[in-house]
Amino acid sequence: MSDFSKFKAAMFDFDGTVTVPGNYEPSQEMADALVKLTRKMPIAFCTGRQLESFEDHGLETLIKEIPKAELEHFFENLVLIAENGSIGYKFNSSLDEFEEFYRVNWPDEIIGREELMQALDHRIKDFGRVYFRKHRVVVVIRTNEHESGDFQAISRCSDQIYEVCKEFMAEILPDYERFFHIGNSGIGVIICPAIGDKNRGIQEFGKYLVGNRGIEFSKNFKEILVAGDRPEEGGNDFYFLDGKYGTPFTVGNLCPKNDLLEPVIDIDGERLTHDKATIFLISQMTS
Look at residue 128 in the predicted model and tell me its pLDDT.
96
Element counts in the chain: helices (H) and strands (E): 8, 13
Domain annotation for the chain: domains and CATH numbers: 4-104+196-286 (3.40.50.1000), 113-195 (3.90.1070)
Per-residue pLDDT tens for 224-269?
Answer: 999 999 999 999 999 999 999 999 999 999 998 898 899 999 999 9
Chain CA centroid to CA 29, Å? 20
| Class of residue 174 by CB neighbours under 10 A (exposed 0-12, middle 13-18, buried 19+) | exposed
Report, as an integer, the average pLDDT of 203-217: 97
pLDDT tens-place string over residues 134-155 = 899 999 999 999 888 888 999 9
Contacts of 140 (CB under 8 A, 6+ apart): 48, 50, 130, 131, 188, 189, 190
pTM of the entire predicted model: 0.95
**Residue 284 CB neighbours (<10 A):** 18
- Is the pLDDT at 95 greater than 90, yes or no? no
Alpha-carbon torsion, ordered 26, 27, 28, 30, to 10 deg: -70
Q: Which residues contact 37 (CB under 8 A, 6 or more apart)?
A: 10, 43, 282, 285, 286
Residue 62: CB atoms within 10 A of its CB come to 21
- pLDDT at residue 70 tops 80: yes
